[in-house]
Amino acid sequence: MSVDFCGLELAHPIVNASGTFDAIAAHRAFGDELLERFPFAAFVSKTVTLEPRQGNPPPRLWEVAGGLINSIGLPNKGLHGYLERDLPILAVLPVPLIVNVMGFSRDEVAQLVQAFAEREEVSALELNVSCPNVETGLMMGADPDEVAALVHRVRPLTAKPLIVKLTPNASDVPAVAQAAEHAGADAVSLINTVKGMALDPKTGAPWLGGVTGGMSGPAVRAIALAQVHAVAQAIEIPIVGMGGIQAGRDALDLMRAGATLVAVGTESFRDPTAALRIASELSELLANTGV
Ligand code: RRO
């Protein structure tokens, strides 16, 4: 099951979707057992921004049939807090660390990339151009020219693999993927969450503190499959596929559609060890199908 991903040797193709597994809290809860049986072949951190953020006002989650809508709003310690407090703990994980970053301008992203470029604990960077939950509504990832300009700006700042996390909330996702590839990205990841909304059944007002949110879980799996398939026809660089993966069979589908790695997200909230089961189911399917 081992796989070469942008020069990183991974034990198997299952990773986590950014923001869906808190490895620091999990280490506190499960102790060193977590390190002995770590569920993912690489760990992708929650998005880091330049400045600390509180995140969006509650409520932040709403459960829908087959999924979740989140409006978390990127709470994080900011670059310096992350470097001082989170990175030393994440550095002991037994797998490569991929740091996900987001900025509100190209300059902010450049500062983040430059800071992480120097850290040997960090194996790769994921540029989050697709968060649906910022009050500015700003989403660089919906526009191929914006994505190209961003990747051009940060590409010279690091030799580490650069993964661009794409949004499904764009009119032409393959065009955005091509823009990322031509500007020098090493891989793309998709899908981030699908924009959604829920109303408070009692008042009829928006339920989420951020009004709208991002939908994930099995309800978006068919969207992910279609978008990974379309992007795979358009680019040569590897794809990290995600969206509603619950079983080895779902992971195999995304790989058949063109993904090199598959990320597990919402399913880890239901069962933090789900990725171990999914990797083992995938291994069996690959052996049986000869894929
Ligand atoms: O923090 C969030 O609200 C969030 C982010 Br950064 C993201 O990329 N995708 C998402 O669904 N939520």
Q: What is the pLDDT of residues 8-37, one digit of tens each?
A: 999 999 999 999 999 999 999 999 999 999
| Both structure tokens of 202 | 């009692």
Using one digit for the tens of pLDDT, what is the confidence trace for 167-215?
Answer: 999 999 999 999 999 999 999 999 999 999 999 999 999 999 999 999 9
Q: How far apart are CA 162 and CA 164, in angstroms?
A: 7
Instruction: State the pLDDT at residue 134.
Output: 74
User: Which residue CA neighbors atom 1 of ligand 1 most closely?
Assistant: 74
Q: Is 166 in the pocket of ligand 1 (CB under 6 A)?
A: no
Query: Mean pLDDT over residues 100-105, rounded?
Result: 94
Higher pLDDT, 147 or 134: 147
pLDDT value at residue 132: 77
Any ligand 1 atom below 6 A from CB of 266: no
Distance (angstroms) between ligand 1 centre and the Cα of 43 equals 17
210 CB near ligand 1 (under 6 Å): no
By most ligand atoms within 8 Å of CB, the mutation choice from 16, 71, 72 for ligand 1 is: 72
Residue 135: what pLDDT? 65
Give the pLDDT of residue 258.
98
Among 112, 131, 232, 254, the active-site one is: 131
Region 259-285: mean pLDDT is 97
Residue 137: its pLDDT value, please? 57
- Would you say residue 136 has pLDDT above 90? no
Q: Is the peptide bond before 98 cis (omega within 30 degrees of 0)?
A: no
Q: Is residue 197 within 8 Å of 212, Cβ to Cβ?
A: yes
pTM for this one? 0.97
Cα(21)–Cα(269) distance, integer angstroms = 8
**74 Cβ below 6 A of ligand 1:** yes
Query: Which atom number of ligand 1 is nearest to the Cα of residue 193?
Result: 11
First to last CA, the chain: 11
6 has catalytic annotation: no
Q: Average of pLDDT values for 44-69?
A: 97
Mean pLDDT of 129-141: 75
Average pLDDT, the chain: 96
Per-residue DSSP letter, 219: G
Question: For residues 34 and 15, what is the distance between their CA atoms, to the nearest angstrom?
Answer: 15
Q: How many helices (H) and strands (E) does the chain have?
A: 11, 14
130 pLDDT band (50/70/90 cuts)?
A: confident
Gap from CA of 133 to ligand 1 centroid (Å) = 6
Asked if 123 and 42 touch (Cβ cutoff 8 Å), the reply is yes
What pLDDT does 140 receive? 85
pLDDT of residue 138 exceeding 80: no
Q: Is the CB of 20 under 6 A from ligand 1?
A: no
